[in-house]
Copies of this chain bind each other. A is one copy, B any other.
């Protein structure tokens, strides 16, 4: 595709061209788009125009830039990976679960204070997916997505980073192997019930109840984890 602008160049045309460039997905795997200088050459306009268009797209949240590195489509990555990798190797699943019990009830409280109706809708959808009788791995993924969504809705950057750290440690540690996760139909329905309790409390803007419900849910998870670990050492 040729993105060169015709003679009626203007900022709006450049913006549209770059936006199309992004949305048609004609980008390398890492989402990196051409340098500003290259874009200017390709579009046949000056760098100033390109920068203005990129400014708009950045404000829009469609791209992010880093001086010396480049311009990328999508969201800037979370730099929690290194930290998590440092902790994960010697992360006892019970320690991780204890940390979840510290952080997630508080997040549920904040979430209840800030969730919009739209947010609650999303949560319900995620809970529904997690409750479907798929294989254990998939259910785990949707469960993780639900908890992550609650953290995101809480809208506190510091807490979100702390949660991201916790989340990566949880997924990265060897515990992935240790999950015998005796996810019987009974526990599945229990978890679903607990998810609904949490979301109901969030919808009622009842932070206290959301926190309590989340705590109950995590304690059930913890209990399940303990029994599965004991049975694995037999």
Q: Could you tell me which A residues sit within 8 Å of B by CB distance? A: 79-80, 82-83, 86-87, 90-91, 95-96, 98-99, 101-103, 106-107, 109-110, 156-159, 161-162, 165-166, 169
Query: A-B pairs with the 5 shortest C-beta distances?
Result: A102-B106, A99-B158, A162-B162, A99-B159, A98-B156
Cβ B79 vs Cβ A159 within 8 A:
no
Which label, helix, strand, loop or mixed, suits the secondary structure of the A interface?
helix
- Residue in B99, B110, B161, B165 whose CB lies within 8 Å of A98: B110
* A82-B79, A82-B82 as given contacts; A161 in contact with B87, CB under 8 Å: yes
Cβ B157 vs Cβ A98 within 8 A:
no
Cβ B95 vs Cβ A157 within 8 A:
yes
Residues of B contacting A82 in the complex (Cβ-Cβ under 8 angstroms): 79, 82
Name the residue on B nearest A105 (C-beta): B106
- Residue in B80, B95, B101, B109 whose CB lies within 8 Å of A83: B80
Cβ B162 vs Cβ A166 within 8 A:
yes
Copies in the complex: 2
Residues of B contacting A158 in the complex (Cβ-Cβ under 8 angstroms): 87, 91, 95-96, 98-99, 165-166, 169
Cβ A157 vs Cβ B110 within 8 A:
no
Interface centre among A98, A102, A103, A165 (most CB of B within 10 A): A102
CB distance from A100 to the nearest CB of B (A): 9
Residues of B contacting A96 in the complex (Cβ-Cβ under 8 angstroms): 158
Residues of B contacting A99 in the complex (Cβ-Cβ under 8 angstroms): 156, 158-159, 162
CB distance from A126 to the nearest CB of B (A): 22
Residues of B contacting A98 in the complex (Cβ-Cβ under 8 angstroms): 110, 156, 158-159
Kindly state the separation between the CA atoms of A162 and B159 in the bound complex, as whole angstroms.
9
Kindly state the separation between the CA atoms of A79 and B88 in the bound complex, as whole angstroms.
14
Name the residue on B nearest A161 (C-beta): B87
Q: What would be 25 A-B contacts, judged by CB atoms less than 8 Å apart?
A: A79-B83, A79-B86, A80-B83, A87-B157, A91-B158, A95-B157, A98-B110, A98-B158, A98-B159, A99-B156, A99-B158, A101-B106, A102-B103, A102-B106, A102-B109, A103-B103, A103-B106, A103-B159, A103-B162, A106-B106, A158-B166, A161-B165, A162-B162, A162-B166, A165-B165
